[in-house]
A and B are shown apart, each in its own frame.
Chain A
Amino acid sequence: AQSVAQPEDQVNVAEGNPLTVKCTYSVSGNPYLFWYVQYPNRGLQFLLKYITGDNLVKGSYGFEAEFNKSQTSFHLKKPSALVSDSALYFCAVRDPSAGNNRKLIWGLGTSLAVNP
């Protein structure tokens, strides 16, 4: 069965420091992986995705994520955090070999707080 885990409910980081939001996945085939961000009282915004190719994916707002097949991980990173990055972050996976059941499977979310 497909699943996504975000092991940290909350991540706190000081402004200017690097940030990492963790995501691990379990799928039977090769995964398609996505990161979304949700600012307070807003909808979900797409940040980046991994489909194939380079394991390091760059996305919006200076975020990047590294696909690691051996560790089944897709951690979200940013070299220097901003207070405005404080939000709820969701990792999601799709298994392209899952036939008609190619729904996005979501992690439970990680709340990022960047302190000034």
Chain B
Amino acid sequence: DTEVTQTPKHLVMGMTNKKSLKCEQHMGHRAMYWYKQKAKKPPELMFVYSYEKLSINESVPSRFSPECPNSSLLNLHLHALQPEDSALYLCASSQGSQGRAGNTIYFGEGSWLTVV
């Protein structure tokens, strides 16, 4: 079982709504990630936090806003999304900074987002 916990598992939101996805890990990892995945496609990196600081933003639209309140928690705030943003959003974590190439990235079960 994954030790990265994501809530909610499913979310349906309108294009004018504001919602948040939440992620928690209890492995003492210091790097946390948000990925977006479309059906049967590889995950696409969105954001990376290293030691609670944003280290990578893969040119993600500002309607997605990440937040790392502490080393165990990661949020993704959603506002004014488009239907094409509907996807599986995966949170992940790894030991040390994201720059440690040998570190394994561990994923949560994801949050299924539908924008209507």
Query: Per-position contact with B for A73-116: 1 when CB-CB < 8 Å, else 0?
Result: 00000000000000010101011101010111011110100000
Interface status of B25 (Cβ within 8 A of chain A): no
Q: Are A109 and B40 closer than 8 Å at their CB atoms?
A: yes
Distance, CA A88 to CA B2, complexed state (A): 17
- Please tell me which stretch of B60-68, B77-85, B101-109 contacts chain A, meaning at least 4 of its Cβ atoms lie within 8 angstroms of it: B101-109
Given contacts A43-B2, A107-B42, 11 further A-B contacts (CB under 8 A): A32-B101, A32-B102, A42-B110, A43-B108, A44-B107, A45-B2, A46-B105, A46-B106, A102-B99, A102-B101, A103-B56
Main secondary structure of the interface of B (DSSP, over half): loop
Distance, CA A45 to CA B109, complexed state (A): 9
Chain A residues closer than 8 Å to B88, beta-carbon distance: 43
Show 16 A/B contacts (Cβ-Cβ < 8 Å), sorted by A.
A32-B101, A34-B105, A43-B4, A43-B110, A44-B107, A46-B105, A46-B106, A49-B102, A49-B104, A95-B101, A103-B45, A104-B105, A106-B42, A107-B42, A109-B41, A109-B42
The 6 closest A-B pairs by CB, nearest first: A106-B42, A96-B101, A43-B109, A44-B107, A94-B101, A43-B107
A35: shortest Cβ distance to chain B, in Å? 11
Interface status of A56 (Cβ within 8 A of chain B): no
Query: Per-position contact with A for B86-116: 1 when CB-CB < 8 Å, else 0?
Result: 0010101000001111101111111000000
